[in-house]
A and B are shown apart, each in its own frame.
Chain A
Amino acid sequence: MEETAGDPKLNRREFIVRSIRVTAFLGLGGLAVLVAEKSGSGETVWQLDPSKCIQCGRCATNCVLAHSAVRCTHVYAMCGYCDLCGGYFKPGTKTLNTAAENQLCPTNAIKRKFVEDPFFEYTIDEPLCIGCGKCVKGCGAFGNGSLQLQVRQNICVHCNQCSIARSCPAEAFSRVPAKKPYLLKQITLEGPKSGG
């Protein structure tokens, strides 16, 4: 369409288009201000709250990555260094040795190392861990709960919407500031609970 200065119809059209354009600009600007007012300059990342997690196993299967970004994390400061580790051994294990059939972990990702009598150190071989949470369940049930699932931020590809978050039955996932990207439960110094 040619722009003929003398054609009033075209001028009117051009005027309407221009007004809408200006309105759209103002609208976008307004939206940006409205939203940016409470926006942080820092990024957020996904993390799960171990105190809500019930170790359902979906963390292992529902990540967009074939090998989930959720892995078991060991908070050594909470560990009792037990010989009979509830996270390491299958329930009912008779001989406490490192035989594969005794281990709870399906990929044998937990390494058991003797420290001094009667203490053992447990280390997660992170590349082997699949985030299934079996050990976490065991440790939480009769250990100190020092094994906890966490999104490992160096592995996570930071999906806009975490695909585990939407299927987590415990709603344990949330966006946390990238500056403080872990939600590890730290030591709670209470005595043994009754029944526990």
Chain B
Amino acid sequence: MSVLVVLEQHGGKWNRMAFEAAAAGKMIAESLGVPLQAVVLGSAIDGLANDAARYEFRKVFATDNPLLARYTPDGYTAALEQLIRAHQPRLIVFPHSYQVRDYAPKLSTRFRKAFISDVVGVKTENDQAVFVRQLFQGKLSADVRANGNPQFASVQAGAFRAMEPGDGQAQIERFAVKLDSAQIRSQPEEPFREAQRSVDLTAADVIVSVGRGIKEKDNLPVVEALAGVLGAELAASRPICDNGWLPMERQVGSSGQTVSPRIYFAIGISGAIQHLVGMKGSKTVVAINKDENAPIFETADYGAVGDLFEIVPALVEEIKKSKA
């Protein structure tokens, strides 16, 4: 009855969230008093398994199969199903990555169990894990308890500090899976990036970023004026780009650019996790939002609660004055 962490890798490199999930798994395993194990899936993964063995796992399962060379939901689900049935962990912990979103609900459904996705915290009560997840993109929290085993949970990016490698010498156990190419229905092609972006926000010193609070495309001059007086790059949350109000290449977040300017102004942006992961490396964050409970205020250094259509023009005037 272990806690099993699925260590995600792409092309022989760890997903940086893999060891955040490991840290969450370790915390739970310790409070439940059960061993912590990990699994690596792929093809020709000896190097990765050896690397994983340096961390504080009791055991690392190496599931090596040519049909796992490229990720497919069918291949990963079948392989992990076999491992879970054979070794019966009580909890399987994943990073809440795009890949995990793609197969973990399928895997948990195979066991007719709920998948507790995007967890930001864990408590243990009466020898049971209680998972904390966010609702309404971070506006509310919920405590969720699973009943029966196995349990399945994924961990939000940044919610746990990644486990560091130690001088641990975890035992590596090869776990052979039976896979048949006919089982694998999807044919993934090589991953690719779009053509070079003409806007590089990653080098920007000051960024003025606008969200759905701007309401209409015609209101963009309000924030453009601020960007102008600051000599800042204009950026946006996803819905602004989805609507075509600003080009996609100005999007900040998990599916846009990751930026770390000296100042980041988040204007009319609520602060969903997919936006936060793209900008929380900024040195100073200023949030302007009319909702005092907007999650962005948790990430901001300075927050102005109020109507952006009043505050931003006033800010432009103040900055002009201070420069005069």
Q: Do A and B come from one complex?
A: no
